[in-house]
Chain A
Amino acid sequence: MTAPVAAKAPPVESGTPVLAIRGAWKRFGAVTALEGVDLDIRCGEVLAVLGDNGAGKSTLIKCLNGVHRFDSGTIEMDGVQVAIHAPADARALGIETVYQDLALFDNLRPTDNFYAGRELAGPSWLPRSLRLLRRRQMTDSTRDVLARLQVTLPDFNAVVGLMSGGQRQAVAVSRAAAFASKVVILDEPTAALGVRESRKVLDLILRLRSENKAVVVISHAMDHVMEVADRAVIMRRGRKVGELIPSAETYTQIVSLIVGGGE
């Protein structure tokens, strides 16, 4: 089962991984979602995690962003072992996730969406909920991030609920990028988008890479993976069954690894 890894996938080496998972196991009752998975995530690299439904991709990602915990196994960041027990731990370590449902607040403007739950406010001697918002500062820095990532919105002060699917996705990805010092995880970033809007999101992913962030993309859209991913990890039934560089030559190999044709 693990033969293709040794045989065909020379891993791309580019320094020490910013995030490394070693021997990850996770069970839900009788179901084993992860069976000893190792994974390296590197800065300035787009890593695609591929696999059919139930392969363990989502479980793996949810353990990284603090929604679940591994039963056994370790997570290292920059070579130091870390504990991620809650979403707040992951955020504090510089890991941000863009969920498939985007988790945006449709009734709020982009700025408020960026800072929901981490508002800039003062003075610090007041209880957090009673602090005065630093509205100008939040607006300015949101504007800066969107400009840096070349995201153009029709109306910066409109609520997110009035934006198109692509614009909303762009806001969600930019929000993650703004607060992720290390790793951005994207769950099916192009799933609900048309061709042109997908294109813009893919461009955005490449811009995150050029900012030297580690980008992890979970996707079913093979075309998109082939285009932006530097490395693809293929999972099946809770195991990592392959790791290779996506290209026209490896396309069929990736597909057969996903569906299990290699057996």
Chain B
Amino acid sequence: MVTAAKSDQSAGGGRALPLDRYRMLQAALFSLRAGPALILLLLIIAVGLTTPVFLTSRNVGNVFSQTSVIAVLALGQLLVIVTRGIDLSVGSTIALSGVVGAIVFAHTHSSVLVIAAIVGTGLAVGAANGLIYVYGRVPHPFIVTLATLSIVRGIALWAANGTLISGMPSIVDTIGGGSIHWLPYSIFAVVGLALLCLLGTTRLVWGRWLYAVGGNPEAARRSGIPTRRVLVTVYVLSGLAAGIAGLLTAGLIDAGSPTAGDLAELDSIAAVIIGGAAFAGGRGNVGNALVGAFTIGVIRNALNLHNVDPFYQLMAIGVVVLAAVEADVLRGAIEGRVRVAQAMRST
């Protein structure tokens, strides 16, 4: 029996056709995996060659500053999407956390309390999402976060009386809008959070559980992984990301705005998908989220530099999302072929 297995192996090497096919499929898979990062790189080169202003330090600083909110949201959204979920409430959370921060600032002038209020609001919304979804036994987080999208935006508008509340502590203004030379502080927040996310998803037991729950929830439960707790933490962390994005936004506009972050949830979802994570869950990493966020940021900036009507920006991003989803479909098809090629190879 042992020798039979061994001769099978060597016979596989003799058949050139399936092996070449297998190599080809592997190459196709590899290029699909590297695709989003490669496209971003080509985009940067193309825009850089056609638009001299694009790669000046001042404009790069602009891109960073304009993209950091999307990037922070995308990191949180990534965790949610890996577990087959979605968080639609993050845009509204940016508004509410800013408004709460502005109200706290009007009463106390304590920057520590303001920051705690802004970030705490994000955590609270995230905790509500996670707890209602998991313990309320709601079939899909879409409904829960759609509801909180509406509720949270409503509370923000009500609390702010529908208008902007001006004034933020100077430290918040610096974090959200300040820069060292041309590098905005907000990009350091993005880098810091990305590193924490990277640690959590690749080095900690929690990260393994995250991907296990996303890959096969039933098997995760049978393996003794606390799937409910993992799901709750994912929404809490997405809420935290939204709170931090709210902090950056509040600092940028030096105010709490009840209309801030409108449609930001869609940007964050688009970023994760453009970056190459699977909307069906189980697959996606920190790099995907950042690449996706910066692809959106670079496209917007390039169109702005060329004075293209903002309406076209919406269309361009939509087309890129479609392309990314189609690439994901293609990837699924190729993976199916790899499995078949594997079976042929192993006989």
Contact: B342 with A154, CB < 8 Å? yes
Nearest chain A CB to B4 CB, angstrom units: 8
Which residues in A have their C-beta under 8 angstroms from that of B218? 103
A131 CA to B199 CA in the complex, in Å?
A: 11
Q: Does A128 belong to the interface (CB within 8 Å)?
A: yes
**A130-B5 in contact (CB<8A):** no
CB distance from A35 to the nearest CB of B (A): 28
From B4, B207, B346, A197 is in contact (CB under 8 Å) with B346
Nearest CB in chain A: distance from B28 CB, A: 12
A-B contact pairs, 30 of them (CB 8 A): A88-B224, A91-B224, A99-B222, A103-B219, A105-B212, A105-B215, A107-B216, A107-B283, A112-B208, A115-B208, A116-B208, A116-B220, A117-B225, A119-B205, A129-B204, A129-B206, A129-B230, A130-B204, A133-B204, A150-B5, A152-B9, A161-B339, A163-B342, A164-B342, A164-B343, A166-B343, A167-B342, A167-B346, A196-B8, A200-B5
Measured between beta carbons, the chain B residues less than 8 angstroms from A133 are 203-205, 207-208
Q: Which of B8, B215, B347 has the most CB of A within 10 A?
A: B215
- Interface centre among A104, A132, A133, A194, by most chain B C-beta atoms within 10 angstroms, is A133
Which of B1, B205, B219, B338 is within 8 Å of A105, CB to CB?
A: B219
B223 close to A (CB within 8 Å): yes
Instruction: Return the CB mask of B310-347 against A: 1 if under 8 Å, else 0.
Output: 00000000000000000000000001001110110111
Dominant secondary structure at the B interface: helix
Do A166 and B216 form a contact, CB below 8 Å, given A130-B206, A150-B2?
no
Question: Given that A154-B346, A166-B343 are contacting pairs, would A130 and B2 also be in contact in the complex, using a CB cutoff of 8 Å?
Answer: no
Given contacts A106-B216, A196-B347, A197-B346, contact A117 B9 (CB under 8 A): no
Please provide the chain A residues from 60 to 87 with a CB less than 8 Å away from any CB of chain B in the complex. 87
Q: Besides the contacts A104-B216, A106-B215, what 14 more A-B pairs have beta carbons closer than 8 Å?
A: A107-B214, A117-B209, A117-B212, A117-B225, A119-B205, A129-B204, A130-B206, A132-B204, A133-B204, A165-B343, A196-B8, A196-B347, A197-B346, A203-B2
Q: A129-B206, A150-B2 are in contact. Are A116 and B219 (CB under 8 A)?
A: yes
A118 interfacial contact with B, CB 8 Å: yes
Given A163-B339, A167-B342, A197-B346, A107–B211 Cβ distance below 8 Å? Answer: yes
